A and B are shown apart, each in its own frame.
Chain A
Amino acid sequence: MEELVKLTIDGKQVEVPAGTLVINAAKAAGIEIPAFCYYDGLALQAACRMCLVEVKKAPKLLTACTLVAQPGMVVHTETPAVVEARKAMLEFLLTNHPLDCPVCDKGGECELQDMVFRYGAGESRFLEQKVHTEEKQFSPLVYFDAPRCILCYRCVRICDEGLGVKALGVVHRGVYTEIGPNRGDHLECDECGMCIDICPVGALTSGRYRYKTRPWEMQHVGTICAHCSNGCKTTLGVRNDAIIRANNRDRSGLNGEFLCVKGRFGFDFVEHPERLRTPLVREGGELRPVNWMQAVALVARRFEEIRARGGRIGVIGSNRTTNEENYCLQKFARQVLGTNHIDHHRTGDVVALVDALAGRTGALATTGDLYRTRAALVIAADLAQQQPFLAFQLRANWRHHGLRLYAVTPGPVREEQYAVRSVRCRPGEELAAVEGLAAELKGEPELVILFGDAVKGELVHRLVAFGDSLGIPVKYVCLVDYANSRGAADMGLLPDLLPGYRPVAEAGLERGMALPEILAAPDLDALWVVGANPLKDAPLASTAAFVVVQDLFLTETARRADVVLPAASAYEKTGTFTNVCGEIQQLRKAIDFPGAKTDLEIFGLLARAMRAEIGPANPEKVFEEIRATVPGYNVALPVLAAGGAAPSSPQNGRVPVEWRPELIRSARDTLFRSGTLGRYSQALNSVTEAPGELYRG
């Protein structure tokens, strides 16, 4: 049992766990003590002096942010002396502040403005010349205006403590003190922009957002990031059907306020000039624009034709389309086209893990588990580069709870900064190295194992057997690449499995061709690619195949297509994604993109044109069907509706599939790459760190 401490704040009796800071004890009692430098989860500073409070028997005002609640303590947070002190601090802050609020990006959501509004100090007694320095561009994405800076050091701490990057520091001294970047005049960092959003004032501003709009002119739409598999909530600022910025200052998702460079800046692919705005049909060897009716009619006619003559149709689904779309695609393929040659680019061996954990529940770790587990083991993955939010969670766990981290990787990774043990191994020898840690791991109370694509097929079973041998509770995360990689597997975009990892035999089907076999089949009659770019890496053997591609851009695959259908992006639709940890979250539509349709809509149009019945092309209806039919997806709808994350829980017996480790291959994207989407993000490509590489530490 936690020891509790009773104290009085503004006449209210408050009971808090021993060790609680007065600023948080007050918060628990509904009393807000203002602060700039105090920031939940980061190191204490006591620099801004805004949280000064009166404490009975103390000779002077004390900072509530460093004061530990003591039994019987009597605290007053809004006495005349306190208010007067806060007003004085604000007056001090404003003396050398440029007061350029009318042209400041932060205007309207500036904590300094808010505080002055609350405490006054509206009259200036400062007649002297202000200390001034010119604004600096730290990177294409990060600008720094020192005169606006109030030196709360939040940016320095989030970069160092939060990310482990340490790209920002404090230089010079006294009134000339400034925040400085790590490469002389510029930054070399993750470009995550955490420093920008954590800045209480307009000192750090976004190269993408600055001077574009006033905050109150935007609508704010909370949806799920379109890029990696971590499933971060990103709140899009939308004005006139354009996304102006992305952040998560409201800490609404499982990621709190965390976003990486992709989540915060990488949304700009949606407005890339090469974005497809109209269907294209190949005529005389060239793709020419047609209208949707013509394109859909053509596809329906050819599909019907090929189906009628018993032709071979291959279907390749996406790591980025919604669960609803993936579910419908496999349903369309299997029921309408009568084909089981369906697959997607598999970036981690989720299937093997589900099989190895057959019959267990609670053996898949959630993102929340990563913040709470006492010990974790990372195998063959550069988390900071590939799984930035998972890396952030583990690091926060280490900072706040002393997580004991083990890392077995082929090269240096950032987690080694704090790992209790890090082992370098040659590719292919990961498990042997892991098994060498058995004695140490047995001493841990619990463990979460995160593994990359090097652990697949039989090795996954060996890993789970190893986990069982430790004699402690072990949970697993099979690392995958993209926003709905996990959902693609869950929804049965596989030649041998139906949604929920049920064998195709249950539906009376034979195992179909996997992705490489589809591409290599010389007699393939049709290829339908939805949100994927398989021809970037491998040729299509069948020269005669009728190729239909649904995508945002004219990818290598789309260029080979006979019909290209412009698809909507994740930010232009509703539906659900399942993240790397199996947590289901809802997308909310932020904008409309003229000319594009969601993949689900396209399936609906095609079905209607083919006079086939796949159910309504409505995400809510499809999700209801998924909840009813897919094991593990019967999650509580209110959780999703409220913007929460609902963990899926696959419950099944063994998954009788043939192990095909050669099909598992991560794209090895770095922080600054994101498959097709990354290629069309000007922000991601603008920074000097791009494209980056893995295992640089």
Chain B
Amino acid sequence: MTFSPELEAKFARLVTHYPPGRERAALIPMLLFAQDEVGAITPEVVQEISRRLKVSPLEIEEVVSYYSMLHKEPRGRYHFQVCTNISCMLLGGAELFEYLKEKLGIDNHGVTPDGLFSLEEVECIGACSWAPALQVNYDYHHWVTRERLDRLIEDLRKVS
């Protein structure tokens, strides 16, 4: 399979970052970047990266199944990652997560039928002092409230 020219260029640079013979080091970044573009770690992605880095599919599975950000199933276009860890919990993170479940009509790890939204309860995302916080894809949202969530979802619906 082929990736976009931008990603190909990124991969080409990436493998030069590590000592000769240690190209496997590029595996996790490559998987994550490929996932960003393709939407999931599909069997094709595994096959392609296996071929490029000379890492067996089993070794890739060992890695993919270990890291929580890597996933084999596609997610929604907007993936809501709600932190409910301690600092966020103290300020209503868990309630926000419940609210989102209800509002989007999906459970943890669920995807809305239109494929627009997906939801995940996540561990600390490093926004503790500005809690409660969540990430939509890679974007941070701090001091989240129900009202802000409503607005955010509305805006995201509009742009798509």
Residues of A bordering B, CB below 8 Å: 166-173, 180-184
Contact = CB atoms under 8 A, between A and B. Distances in A.
B57 A180 contact: no
A3 to B, nearest CB: 33
B65 A172 contact: yes
Nearest to B57: A182
Contacts, number: 29
Contacts of B138: none
Interface string B42-67: 00000000000000111101100110
- What are the 8 A-B residue pairs with the smallest beta carbon separation, nearest first? A182-B58, A171-B65, A169-B58, A169-B62, A172-B65, A173-B66, A171-B62, A171-B61
Contacts of A168: 58
A571 to B, nearest CB: 36
A183 B57 CA distance: 8
Q: Interface residues of B toward A: which range?
A: under 10
A172 B56 contact: no
A184 B58 CA distance: 8
A173 B52 CA distance: 26
Interface in B26-83: 56-59, 61-62, 65-66
A182 B56 contact: yes
B57 to A, nearest CB: 7
Contact of B62 (A167, A180, A183, A184): A180
B68 to A, nearest CB: 8
A153 to B, nearest CB: 12
Contacts of B61: 169, 171, 180
Contacts of B58: 166-169, 180-183
Contact of B66 (A166, A172, A182, A184): A172
A180 to B, nearest CB: 6
Residue of A169, A170, A173, A184 with most partner-chain B CB within 10 A? A169
A343 to B, nearest CB: 46
Contacts of B56: 166, 182
B96 to A, nearest CB: 25
Contacts of B59: 166, 169
A349 to B, nearest CB: 38
Nearest to A181: B58
A579 to B, nearest CB: 33
Contacts of B65: 171-173, 180
B59 to A, nearest CB: 7
A569 to B, nearest CB: 37
Given A167-B58, A169-B58, A180-B58, 20 more contacts: A166-B59, A168-B58, A169-B59, A169-B61, A170-B62, A171-B61, A171-B62, A171-B66, A172-B65, A173-B65, A173-B66, A180-B61, A180-B62, A180-B65, A181-B58, A182-B57, A182-B58, A183-B57, A183-B58, A184-B57
A236 to B, nearest CB: 33
Contacts of A180: 58, 61-62, 65
9 contacts: A171-B65, A171-B66, A172-B66, A173-B66, A180-B58, A180-B62, A181-B58, A182-B56, A183-B58
B20 to A, nearest CB: 18
A55 B61 CA distance: 39
A628 B57 CA distance: 58
B92 to A, nearest CB: 27
A516 B61 CA distance: 53
Nearest to A172: B65
B63 to A, nearest CB: 9
Contacts of B57: 182-184
A184 B65 CA distance: 12
Contacts of A173: 65-66
Nearest to B61: A171
Contacts of B62: 169-171, 180
Nearest to B43: A184
A114 B75 CA distance: 47
Contacts of A183: 57-58
Contacts of A171: 61-62, 65-66
B51 to A, nearest CB: 16
Interface in B133-158: none
A181 B56 CA distance: 12
Contacts of A169: 58-59, 61-62
A43 to B, nearest CB: 16
A172 B62 CA distance: 7
A171 B59 CA distance: 9
Nearest to A170: B62
A256 to B, nearest CB: 26
A173 B61 CA distance: 12
A173 B123 CA distance: 15
Contacts of A170: 62
A109 B116 CA distance: 55
A181 B61 CA distance: 10
A183 B43 CA distance: 12
A182 B57 CA distance: 7
Residue of B56, B59, B62 with most partner-chain A CB within 10 A? B62
A449 B65 CA distance: 44
A172 B65 CA distance: 5
B148 to A, nearest CB: 33
A138 to B, nearest CB: 12
Residue of A171, A180, A181, A183 with most partner-chain B CB within 10 A? A171
Nearest to B64: A171
